[in-house]
Amino acid sequence: MATSSRQAALINGAAAHALDYDDVNMACTGHPSVVLIPGLLALAESRGFSGHDFMTAFAAGYETMCRLGLASGETQYAKGFHTTATLGTGRFQASCRLHGAFTLPFLVPDFAPFDWLD
């Protein structure tokens, strides 16, 4: 059955949550794969990217979520935020990587994007 990439991403995401595809990475204290794979898979498939392109983009998004998790520490989770959602910006990084666009360098050791949580 053919559908749009948006509908595929929605169905993939619903299936991932319903089937409880929750990997855990303690760097981000969240579930990176369930955030990254549904949309990225739909995007890669609809645009004809290779499996290698998909996996490279997935790795970039996964690393982004983990690095942001390390930068934010336990602060946001302690304040009631679920890091699976708040660190889901890794999706943007994965999509950019898939398209060969701007990617974050992660060369700044004092990166603190979550000052607003204090």
61-107 pLDDT, tens digit each: 888 888 888 888 778 778 888 888 888 777 777 887 777 765 555 53
CA distances from 49 to 28, 42, 59 (A): 28, 10, 15
Which candidate, 86, 101, 90, 93, places its Cα nearest to that of 66?
A: 90
Q: Quote the pTM value.
A: 0.78
The position carrying tokens 């943007």 is 92
